[in-house]
């Protein structure tokens, strides 16, 4: 019986009960009477659920993972080949459970990839949007833009100032995709893009946003700074950035939005920073809600981790980075910028809307962080080893995590760092919450996993114990809350305006010192206090996962990796962790794990690249 066979998956930690019920429901609906065919079909549905939970958009039949199920269960399937899988899916077509997308069905099978219908629709809509990169029609724009570009870039850098090219790209396409590592001038460039748009259209409604509250408040801050530095304040550019959830008017159920195709957003230009964190579903909702005449500018770092949820739209778009443009586009950009912009072979029209910024203005050639980040990004493990052993690079430090003492050293280092923050609580007046929050943001312990002594829970517990021992915090065993407790929100609360990843600190309430309040910096730069008991799901945040640190930066970062292999460890994870640091970074890991992480590169399965190619 199929149900009995499926029940055996209950113990599988990658499969939920809901996945099993869905597989059973769809298999019954497909009326696959033959036992082996039914098992094979339900295995495909289970695999699809598992893949989506791991961040993939679809199940790629050419990359079928059999490792996640027991060998006995796999043997029950009698090892079908790709043609056999295809035949099963074709059989299910007659009962409208599967289609190639031309008919309504819960599963879509196309190009050897199996999708849930909703994700397939999102992918097709996103591809259609990015394939539709029509020219922005401005009167005489070539002449006007050239003048504006020359005003914004008075010191022409040689051989090519890619920031200038990026501004030209964004001004002449409805869509612009700008990728660059830390400090390559993404914010500076976007400030110039907005300034140029303001000059061509003084009434343009400009909106800047980011996927998380933290990233939005960082964008507000860095954009205001860039506009001030570039003396563009007279152009009246609103720098207050908002989260994508707020932009779309997320409703209390967290799934539906006020703004959509039927009720589009009221804007002319939308900038999304940290675009690598935007999942397929969110990108599709944003595109749905964009008025057809508006422009979209995506900023991000293609080498960072992808979104937590399924899809890697920004990464897929950046697969078309070639460092060059089609012949006609290169001519247009050369005319505008005065640089001889390279021509490259074109595989997709989206290439003409992309620009890669490579020169870091934050880390010079001798900066350990910059060199280390680049070596990790390029998978050069021997260079990483050399850099970490080079004692003359004062901004990077490596500790072999070989013993309990080295583990304790990481904890003590963190306690020493957090001492400054906890002391600040005692020294500052109650009105100085901003200064205390700033102190807390100076240092962070980052880890790769959630559980165990190398995970968030274990590390936070150990740090709290040491802080109690050193009398830096006063924690009663019966209570979780104490002055100084930093926390991270784990679930969005639209009604409170708090979002997954937001960080707050616990202080005495400003108007009633007998009570505790958790203070959060909000995206608009203000600070708001909440009663600890009203907060959505949260956890202590001395240590946080690298995934959650995306979109944040700290002066000093300490990275600890587990001593056993974890599938979570990979190159983008390590690169993301290192690039969170502005001044110093320390890594504690075994050499073997570090090398494994650098060598491991994950690819998310989707059909977006093919859809952009076949445009």
Contact residues for ligand ATP, defined by CB under 6 A: 163, 180, 182-188, 222, 226, 229, 361-362
Report which secondary-structure segment, H or E, holds 142: helix 141-152
183 annotated ligand binder: yes
Based on CB atoms, which residue is closest to ligand ATP, 163 or 353?
Answer: 163
Say how many C-beta atoms besides its own lie within 10 A of residue 36's C-beta: 14
Report, in Å, the least distance between residue 170 CB and ligand ATP.
14
Question: Tokens 């004692």 identify what position?
Answer: 391
**CB-based contact 114:86 (threshold 8 Å):** no
181 annotated ligand binder: yes
Sheet (strand 113-116) strand order = 59-60, 113-116, 107-110, 98-99
370 annotated ligand binder: no
Based on CB atoms, which residue is closest to ligand ATP, 182 or 484?
Answer: 182
What are the residue ranges of helices labelled H in 203-326? 213-229, 244-248, 280-289, 313-318
Q: What is the DSSP string of 548-585?
A: HHTT--EEEEEEE--SS--TT--HHHHHHHHTTEEEEE
Based on CB atoms, which residue is closest to ligand ATP, 462 or 579?
Answer: 579
Based on CB atoms, which residue is closest to ligand ATP, 315 or 607?
Answer: 315
Report, in Å, the least distance between residue 333 CB and ligand ATP.
18
Distance CA 166, CA 186 (A): 9
Distance of CA 7 to the CA centre of its chain: 35
Sheet (strand 503-508) strand order = 527-530, 516-521, 503-508, 486-489, 538-540
Based on CB atoms, which residue is closest to ligand ATP, 72 or 155?
Answer: 155
180 annotated ligand binder: yes
Based on CB atoms, which residue is closest to ligand ATP, 167 or 560?
Answer: 167
Report which secondary-structure segment, H or E, holds 40: helix 35-53
182 annotated ligand binder: yes
Report, in Å, the least distance between residue 135 CB and ligand ATP.
27
Rg from Cα positions in the chain: 26
Distance CA 363, CA 592 (A): 28
484 annotated ligand binder: no
Q: Closest by alpha carbon to 47, among 75, 85, 78?
A: 85
Give 520's strand partners.
528
Report, in Å, the least distance between residue 113 CB and ligand ATP.
34
Based on CB atoms, which residue is closest to ligand ATP, 219 or 612?
Answer: 219
Report, in Å, the least distance between residue 277 CB and ligand ATP.
13
Based on CB atoms, which residue is closest to ligand ATP, 230 or 609?
Answer: 230
Report which secondary-structure segment, H or E, holds 26: helix 17-29
Percentages (nearest 5) of helix, strand, coil residues in the chain = 45, 15, 40
Report, in Å, the least distance between residue 301 CB and ligand ATP.
7
Report, in Å, the least distance between residue 233 CB and ligand ATP.
15
Report, in Å, the least distance between residue 183 CB and ligand ATP.
4
187 annotated ligand binder: yes
What are the residue ranges of helices labelled H in 34-176? 35-53, 71-76, 82-93, 117-131, 141-152, 162-172
Based on CB atoms, which residue is closest to ligand ATP, 24 or 278?
Answer: 278
Distance CA 599, CA 588 (A): 18
Distance CA 179, CA 74 (A): 42
Report, in Å, the least distance between residue 81 CB and ligand ATP.
47
Say how many C-beta atoms besides its own lie within 10 A of residue 264's C-beta: 15
Distance CA 389, CA 217 (A): 36
Distance CA 344, CA 351 (A): 10
Based on CB atoms, which residue is closest to ligand ATP, 167 or 247?
Answer: 167
Report, in Å, the least distance between residue 550 CB and ligand ATP.
12
Which residues of 460-525 form beta strands (DSSP E)?
A: 486-489, 503-508, 516-521
**CB-based contact 344:322 (threshold 8 Å):** yes
Residues annotated in a binding site: 180-187
Residues annotated in a binding site for ATP: 180-187
């Amino acid at each position: 019986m199929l149900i009995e066979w499926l029940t055996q998956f209950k113990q599988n930690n990658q499969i939920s009960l809901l996945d099993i019920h869905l597989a059973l429901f769809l298999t019954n609906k497909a009326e696959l009477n033959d036992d082996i065919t039914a098992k094979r079909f339900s295995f495909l549905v289970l695999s699809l659920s598992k893949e989506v939970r791991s961040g993939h958009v679809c199940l790629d039949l050419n990359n079928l993972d059999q490792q996640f199920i027991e060998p006995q269960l796999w043997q029950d399937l009698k090892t079908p080949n790709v043609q056999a899988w295809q035949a099963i899916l074709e059989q299910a077509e007659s009962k409208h459970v599967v289609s190639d997308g031309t008919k309504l069905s819960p599963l879509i099978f196309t190009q050897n990839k199996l999708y849930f219908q909703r994700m397939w629709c999102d992918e097709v809509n996103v591809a259609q949007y990015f394939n539709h990169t029509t020219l922005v029609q401005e009167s005489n724009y070539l002449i006007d833009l050239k003048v504006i570009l020359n005003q914004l870039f008075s010191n022409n850098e040689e051989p090519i100032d890619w920031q200038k090219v990026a501004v030209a790209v964004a001004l002449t396409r409805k869509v612009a995709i700008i990728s660059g590592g830390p400090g390559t001038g993404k914010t500076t460039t976007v400030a110039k893009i907005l300034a140029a748009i303001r000059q061509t259209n003084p009434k343009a409604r400009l909106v800047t946003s980011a996927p998380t509250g933290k990233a939005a408040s960082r964008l507000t801050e860095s954009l205001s700074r860039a506009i001030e530095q570039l003396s563009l304040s007279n152009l009246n550019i609103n720098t207050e950035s908002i989260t994508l959830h707020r932009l779309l008017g997320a409703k209390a159920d967290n799934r539906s939005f006020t703004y959509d195709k039927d009720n589009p957003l009221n804007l002319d230009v939308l900038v999304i920073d940290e675009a690598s964190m935007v999942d397929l579903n969110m990108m599709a909702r944003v595109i749905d809600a964009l008025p057809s005449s508006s422009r979209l500018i995506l900023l991000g770092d293609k080498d960072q981790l992808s979104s937590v949820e399924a899809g890697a739209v920004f990464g897929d778009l950046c697969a078309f980075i070639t460092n060059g443009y089609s012949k006609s586009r290169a001519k247009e950009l050369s005319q505008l910028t005065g640089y001889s912009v390279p021509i490259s072979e074109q595989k997709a029209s989206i290439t003409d809307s992309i620009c890669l910024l490579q020169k870091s203005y934050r880390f010079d050639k001798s900066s350990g962080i910059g060199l280390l980040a680049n070596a990790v990004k390029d998978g050069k493990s021997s260079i990483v080893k050399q850099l970490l052993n080079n004692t003359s690079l004062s901004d990077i430090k490596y500790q072999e995590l070989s013993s309990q003492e080295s583990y304790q050293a990481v904890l003590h280092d963190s306690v020493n760092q957090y001492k400054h923050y906890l002391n600040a609580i005692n020294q500052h007046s109650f009105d100085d919450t901003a200064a205390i929050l700033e102190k807390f943001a100076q240092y962070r312990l980052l880890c790769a996993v959630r559980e165990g002594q190398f995970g968030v829970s274990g590390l936070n517990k150990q740090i709290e114990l040491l802080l109690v021992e050193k009398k830096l915090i006063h924690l009663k065993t019966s209570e979780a809350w104490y002055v100084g407790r930093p926390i991270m929100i784990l679930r969005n609360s639209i009604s409170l305006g708090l979002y997954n990843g937001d960080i707050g600190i616990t202080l005495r309430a400003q108007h009633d010192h007998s009570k505790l309040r958790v203070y959060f910096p909000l995206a608009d730069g203000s600070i708001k206090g909440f009663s600890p008991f009203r907060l959505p799901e949260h956890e202590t945040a001395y240590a946080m996962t690298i995934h959650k640190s995306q979109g944040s930066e700290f002066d000093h970062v300490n990275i600890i990796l587990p001593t056993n292999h974890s599938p979570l460890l990979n190159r983008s994870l390590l690169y993301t962790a290192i690039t969170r640091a502005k001044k110093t970074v320390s890594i504690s890991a075994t050499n073997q794990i570090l090398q494994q992480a650098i060598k491991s590169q994950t690819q998310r399965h989707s059909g977006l690249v093919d859809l952009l190619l076949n445009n």
